[in-house]
Structure 1
Amino acid sequence: MSEIEAVADVWQLSPTLSLVRVGDEWLMDDPARGGQRMLNTFPEWLGRALTGLASTGTVTPEFAADLLRGAGVPAEHLDFCLRSLVEGGVLVDPGFCPPERDAGSLRDRQWAMISPPADYRDSGTRDADMKLMYSYAAEAEPPASSTPAPAAWARILLPRRGPDAEAGFLGELGRLLYLTHGVQSEMDFGPLPRSRRTTPSFGASHPFDISVSTSRLSGKRTTYYYQASEHSLVALPTLVCDPDTGDAPEPSAGGDFDLSIHLAIERAHWRYRTSQVYPTVLLDLGHLTETLHQVCESMGVGLTVTAGRMEPALSKDDQALGPRLRKYRVQLRTRG
């Protein structure tokens, strides 16, 4: 057991591991490791060993070996079996404390690793995708390139974006939002209305919306949706605001505000109607968050993450925007 002892002094059964029976087959499912593994066989000793590990808590290498021996593993195979359980992530360090196994963040990672994005460098893939989209468009109206807002909702047009743009809070805010998520031009991708923005997006889906919460513009804390195609702020009525955002304390500094990234899943899911939507959304989220960080750094703006994906995800039934995936406190350099 010397080789095993060099790996760890104590283990526990992975808290996110489960066995799933699908018909006559067994899957070992662990979202913390990003996927499932099909078990070609399910010997009796494995069931007894997992039951023992699940009921024991933490185990030393010697105790784990004894447990496997008692479950029926031959003595000459103990070392190999134990090493396989460690390398396969069945046995993990006791300090491993991931979220609950069905937390959205773990399931996102799992689906992203199972379903890689399509490779559009292949002409056959592009042609098949375009044909599929036209068949979708014949059945249902494609979503707009930006989340629409009722015309009656109040809007604040943001200042123009040139080098001599207006100074002050609105000018700096408008510049930050445009450089992060602004529309350069409208376009069509087959039957889909899409937009070219400052941030790259897989398939130009741009499956996110940005909201800001501040009292600087109306005198009371208000949440605004950045309507990128108009380069404007749309005031969201209180009854459709994210309750967590609406109840958050007002930033103490006069130019500070909260910025949130919301998932507009329909812009991606209309096109990707399988688990392939997961890696697409996560890839684009990385594009958007990295762009936001770089824009803030170039503008000398402070940026602090205050929340990640919320659990459970908010329903969109009574909201203008989708669930929030990131929330930031932004400290503008201007107080004008």
Structure 2
Amino acid sequence: MNVDRVADDAWQLSPSASLIRVGDAWPLGDPARGSHRILNALPAWLGQALAVLTSAGTVTLGQASDDLARAGVPEAHVDFCLRSLADAGVLVEYSTDIPERDAGNLRDRQWAVISPPADYRDPGTKDADVQLMYSYAEEDEPPVSSTQAPETWARTPLPRLENNTDNRFLERLGRLLYLTYGVHSEMDFGPLPRSRRTPPSFGASHPFDICVTTSQVSGTWATHYYQPSEHSLVTLPASQYSPGAGDFHESCGSGDITLSIHLAIERVHWRYRTSTVYPTVLLDLGHLTETLRLVAESMRIGLTVTAGRTEPALPKSDQVMGPRLRQYRACLETRG
């Protein structure tokens, strides 16, 4: 964040400041309880500075610099400290629509940092985990390794990597999707069906689904679920898909697509059943989005992020696809 602004700009402490942790202490707030603690776990100067910034509401950069100096930051380091707070997203430019501390994306981060994943470097952890899953399976049927759409919904097979076709669009789309998220082989982890795909996944959960909106499959703009086990596109009925804010149709070229990543939380929540699911989902989301970026780059496909998750709700609605976590625009047209 650029803090080289005129002195009368208005700045404020971000709700993300509640995510600061020093060692095992949460000096500003306890995300598990939603309450606040006394500022007694920070260096005296930082605690005083954050307390002043919190109570001030909005400050100019000049006022913030003065507050840091009075709190004990050496004069030669005030600018660096101020820039660090801004770069970390703790001090942000004033906005009337700043998210609440419990907004979806901030709450995800809170759960992630208080819920460390299981350490499978411990030889006993895997055995204990498998036995625990068998006990779960006695009560609840394990979820399949990928979302299953009704057989009656129209399907369009995608070309395999080794096959050349006359449909260059489907060939490139199939390659993009398979290298990003296609199932290379099936596997089992205890009683739980799992799959091997290009991106790594904690416990091979792969807790996401990918949807593609395009006019090049059915001749009209429609949204399709990428079925990774079949390597096919399943056309979603309008009642089963809620368009996102970044969806687009008639104004785009024939080779343009919207690609969205949806959360299939049941595939990971069945196994963990605790807040451990949050860091697992966020870790895997990073694996998937980075894999998508690298595959698109290797194919010379430009990706533009059009939306991320802001809503607080995680559970699925009554639709097949879960909440949208990321959305992109891409052009698959080939030239020259």
* Alignment TM-score, normalising by the size of structure 2: 0.76
Q: Is the 8 A contact 1:155 1:233 kept in 2?
A: yes
User: Shift in Å at residue 169 of structure 1?
Assistant: 1.1
SS at match of 2:194: strand
**Partner deviation per Cα, 1:244-274 (whole Å, 9 max, x = no partner):** 2796334521111111000101101111111
Match of 2:298, as an amino acid?
S
Partner of 1:224: 224
CA distance in 2, matches of 1:272, 1:52: 39
Aligned equivalents of 1:303 and 1:124: distance in 2? 42
What amino acid does structure 1 have at the position aligned with 2:13? S
1:10 and 1:61 in contact (8 A); partners too: no
Which residue number corresponds to residue 58 of structure 1? 59
Alignment partners' CA distance in 2, 1:61 and 1:232: 55
Q: 1:61 to 1:307 in 2, by over 3 A?
A: closer
- Give the equivalent residue in structure 1 for 2:276: 276
2:332 match = 332
2: CA distance between counterparts of 1:104 and 1:226? 26
- Corresponding position: 1:265 with 2:265: yes
Map 1:65-104 to 2 at 5 A. 79=72, 93=91, 95=93, 99-104=99-104
CA distance in 2, matches of 1:133, 1:303: 38
What runs of 5+ residues in structure 2 fail to find an aligned partner? 1-6, 19-25, 42-46
Take 1:269 and 1:130, find their aligned partners in 2: how far apart are those partners? 15
Q: Is the CA contact (8 Å cut-off) linking 1:13 and 1:54 kept in structure 2?
A: no
Which piece of structure 1 moves more, 257-266 or 95-104? 95-104
Q: Is the 8 A contact 2:246 2:306 kept in 1?
A: no
Q: Deviations over 1:8-39 (max 9, x none)?
A: 99997634267xxxxxxx973287xxx98854
Q: Using the alignment, how far apart are the partners of 1:259 and 1:12 within structure 2? A: 35
Cα RMSD between the aligned structures?
Answer: 4.0
Count of paired positions: 304
Amino acid across the alignment from 2:307: A
Matched to 1:174, the amino acid is: G
- Alpha carbons of structure 1 residues 118 and 318: separation in structure 2 relative to 1, 3 Å: same
Measured after TM superposition, the shift of residue 161 of structure 1 is 2.0
Report the secondary structure of 2:176's partner residue. helix
CA gap 1:250/1:108 in 2 versus in 1, 3 angstroms: farther
Taking the aligned partners of 2:324 and 2:195, their CA distance within structure 1 comes to: 22
Asked if structure 2 preserves the Cα contact closer than 8 Å seen for 1:172 and 1:334, the reply is no
Cα separation, partners in 2 of 1:221 and 1:120, compared to 1, 3 Å: same
Q: Is the 8 A contact 2:263 2:322 kept in 1?
A: yes
Q: Does the C-alpha gap of structure 1 residues 9 and 334 become closer, same or farther in structure 2, counting only changes over 3 Å?
A: closer
Q: Which of 162-171 and 211-220 deviates more? A: 162-171
Deviation at residue 297 of structure 1 after TM alignment? 1.1
Aligned-pair identity (%)? 60
Per the alignment, in what secondary structure is the counterpart of residue 28 of structure 2?
strand
Partner SS, residue 210 of structure 2: strand
Residue 327 (structure 1) shift: 0.6
Q: Equivalent residue of 1:152, what SS? A: coil
* Cα distance in 1 for residues equivalent to 2:280 and 2:245: 26
Is residue 155 of structure 1 aligned with residue 155 of structure 2?
yes
Residues 224-303 of structure 1 aligned to structure 2 (within 5 Å): 224-244=224-244, 248-250=248-250, 252-303=252-303
* Residues 13 and 54, structure 2, Cα contact 8 Å, conserved in 1: no
- Say whether residues 1:121 and 2:121 are aligned partners: yes
Q: Deviations over 1:121-143 (max 9, x none)?
A: 11111111111111111110010
Q: Which structure has the greater CA radius of gyration?
A: 1
Q: For 1:72-119, what per-residue CA distance to the aligned partner results, in whole angstroms no more than 9, with x for missing partners?
A: xxxxxx649xx9xx99x8x96453766332221111112212222211
| Distance of aligned partners of 1:12 and 1:294 in 2 relative to their CA distance in 1, 3 Å threshold | closer
Give the CA deviation at 1:210.
Answer: 0.3
Per-residue CA deviations over 1:140-193 (Å, capped at 9, x if unaligned) read 001000001011111111112216465511111111111110001111100100
Q: 1:251 to 1:294 in 2, by over 3 A?
A: farther
Residue pair 1:207, 1:267 contacting (<8 A) in 2 also: yes
Do the aligned partners of 2:226 and 2:233 also contact (CA within 8 Å) in 1? Answer: yes
CA gap 1:314/1:142 in 2 versus in 1, 3 angstroms: closer
Residue 4 of structure 1 corresponds to which residue in structure 2? none
Please state whether the residue corresponding to 1:139 is helix, strand or coil: coil
Look up the equivalent residue of 1:179 and give its one-letter code: L
Q: Between Structure 1 and Structure 2, which shows a larger proportion of strand residues?
A: 1
Distance 1:152 1:220 in 2: 19
Q: Distance in 2 between matches of 1:244 and 1:41?
A: 44
Residue aligned with 1:243, SS: coil
Q: Which stretch shows the higher mean deviation, 146-155 or 245-254?
A: 245-254
